[in-house]
A and B are shown apart, each in its own frame.
Chain A
Amino acid sequence: MLFKVFPAGELIRLFEILAADRIVGPVKKGEDQHGRSLYDFDVVHDFTELRLDYGQTIHSAKNWFLPYQEDLCTFTFEDGGSGDWHKEVDYGVYAPLVLFGLHPCDINALNKLDKVLLGGQYPNPFYGEKRANMFIVGHSCSPQPFCFCKSMGTDSAIRGFDLFLTRMDDLYFAEILSPRAFHLLEQIDCHDPDSREHHRYMEIMEAKESLYVAHVDTSDLTKILDLEFQASVWQEWGRRCFSCGTCAQVCPTCYCYGVAEQVDMDFTHARKEKMLYSCNLLDFASVAGGHNFRPESHTRLKYRYYHKHRGFVEAFEESLCVGCGRCGQACLAHITVPEVIASVRASKE
């Protein structure tokens, strides 16, 4: 990896050069009832809108690479359906996208999604096209009280970005992973870091460690989840769950979806629509004939945890959860990953 350092004032120049493409980054969306700022990822029209000081966004950035709703294909039927028919597929990628200001958790989320959606026998071209046209500028974070990325090993990103910036007093410490990022930095005032700056960078990394409050003990977790499959704590959590899908919607790695076919009223067009789904929803496991494999709230909630913390680990030797804490923050019933996992570990059954 290459490292560079540049004065913080140069960031606007970096932004302006990248602004030839569409930039999506953290922006302030409003304030909650206590006056706390609320952030989300959105198109950044002006450098002053970019809020790199955000703690965490409400939603992940996934709408930009795994949209909540997407047409998989559309059909055209000629002569009122009695003639020929065509199928059109549109991956929805018309221009490059710059994701500016992703924290390590969200970069690691993309790395994990890549494994599932691009690594298998049937790569997802909708996701792949978007990923291939993406330039990622990561940004250092200040761990929030609900962040547990440290426990999930996702507190630092070592791949999956073009450029990663760490704020270092009035400087930026830049990690470079792509030729494009290297050439980008050539256009601004930057230099190779000296040993004093190396040292300062390591100090900052060390200071970050002490800020973590939330933790998840992941040791032997896959086995413990197997052993505690019938534990009564799951039913407790089920009673506390709305089955509303909020956790999955704000999650940067929940990729489950449903597909529905829709015929237009004029019978000359139809489309196959994909919608991000959640295993917590009552309709998730209902199948033809009206049977529902998971009619109870607690079994649905449990399987969400099993997918994240057991199934994915067995398949990829890492958890699907990146510890961003968004699900717990968004959950009206305060169901948080650290609490659920701790309760299962403490189960004495």
Chain B
Amino acid sequence: MTTKKTFLGVPVAKPKVAFFELSSCEGCQLQLLNNEATLLDFLSLVEIVRFREGRKEAGDDYEIAFVEGSITRDDEEELLREIRRRAKILVALGSCACFGGVNQLKNRFNDLEWVKKEVYGSFPIESQEVKPLSAVIKVDLEIYGCPIKKEEVERIVTALVLGEQVHHPQYPVCMECKARENICLFELGEPCLGPVTRAGCDAWCPSNRLGCWGCRGPAPEANLALLQIIMAERGISQERMIDRLECFGGFGAFVAEVKGKKEEPR
């Protein structure tokens, strides 16, 4: 593994890589270990100095930091600032890191103390309003998804190692869903956020007959006003639509806008 790698005869440096987890299920990191067929190739591409899901040793000398999870405690914020200081490239790994993820669902309650009491009772625990990484530090690259798509991460890491630009699709999930010739979930009477959610997942959920929940966040220029219209036309309530849009946090700004409008007349 120590032999120098070359591409087209040009030596390619093997970056030192560390994985970190803030508040999360660590499922995104597990995703990376999930594909045994390409795991060794992935490991030959980078030098892993820290990866709790895969090894015990933990180093602090790294160039690329992959940070999974959202911020819910002060010490996490501190750790994140420390990672930012050390890493040349900081990657937000997964929807929690990018948008707050499922964790940020609690933010929709006005009284966070009440939420804490409901969940933990009198157990002493620190749990603040959930923040994505970008609320605290500068994020260089976001890898979307709950969980992340392993193939996409491999493609992105290969690009990073070769010094290529990383391109995320700008189009929504529908494009990929149609390429798989799925039956549109709306035909089945199911809501789906595919028309407004950033693609790249290869229409993972719709291909399994589950409407998209928008884990990858909005596609740039997503037509959310139109989403409201087509949902209403199909008898899907605004509550149900908002439930979906709120699930992973990517659509937070739009949800706030819709909720604001809804509350005005009162």
Tell me the A residues contacting B by CB distance below 8 Å. 29-30, 32-33, 38, 40, 58-59, 63, 68-69, 77, 80-82, 85, 239-246, 249-250, 262-267, 275-276, 278, 281-283, 286, 295, 297, 330, 332-333
Contact B221 A243 (CB under 8 A): yes
Residues in B neighbouring A58, C-beta threshold 8 A: 181, 183-184
Q: A263-B7, A266-B41, A283-B169 are contacts. A249–B175 as well, Cβ < 8 Å? A: yes
Chain A CB within 8 A of B238 CB: no
Residues in A neighbouring B38, C-beta threshold 8 A: 265
Residues in A neighbouring B154, C-beta threshold 8 A: 265
Say how far B188's CB is from chain A's closest CB, in angstroms.
6
Query: Which residue of the partner chain, among A29, A244, A265, A330, contacts B41 with CB atoms under 8 Å?
Result: A265
Listed A/B pairs (30) with beta-carbon separation below 8 Å: A32-B188, A32-B189, A38-B187, A58-B183, A59-B178, A81-B6, A81-B10, A239-B223, A239-B225, A239-B226, A240-B226, A241-B226, A242-B227, A243-B221, A244-B175, A245-B171, A262-B155, A263-B7, A264-B158, A265-B44, A265-B154, A267-B6, A275-B179, A278-B171, A278-B175, A282-B171, A283-B169, A283-B170, A286-B170, A332-B195
Q: A265-B158, A267-B12 are contacts. A244–B226 as well, Cβ < 8 Å? A: no
The chain A residue with its CB closest to the CB of B172 is A244
Contact A38 B171 (CB under 8 A): no
Contact B41 A332 (CB under 8 A): no
Contact A263 B162 (CB under 8 A): yes
Contact A265 B6 (CB under 8 A): no
The chain A residue with its CB closest to the CB of B229 is A333
Say how far A278's CB is from chain B's closest CB, in angstroms.
7
**Within the assembled complex, what's the spacing in Å between the Cα atoms of A266 and B187?**
43
Contact B171 A243 (CB under 8 A): yes
Chain A CB within 8 A of B230 CB: yes
Contact A33 B183 (CB under 8 A): no
17 additional A-B residue pairs with CB within 8 Å, beyond A282-B219, A297-B223: A29-B183, A33-B188, A58-B181, A63-B181, A69-B179, A242-B172, A242-B196, A243-B172, A243-B223, A262-B158, A264-B41, A266-B41, A267-B5, A275-B179, A282-B171, A330-B178, A330-B184
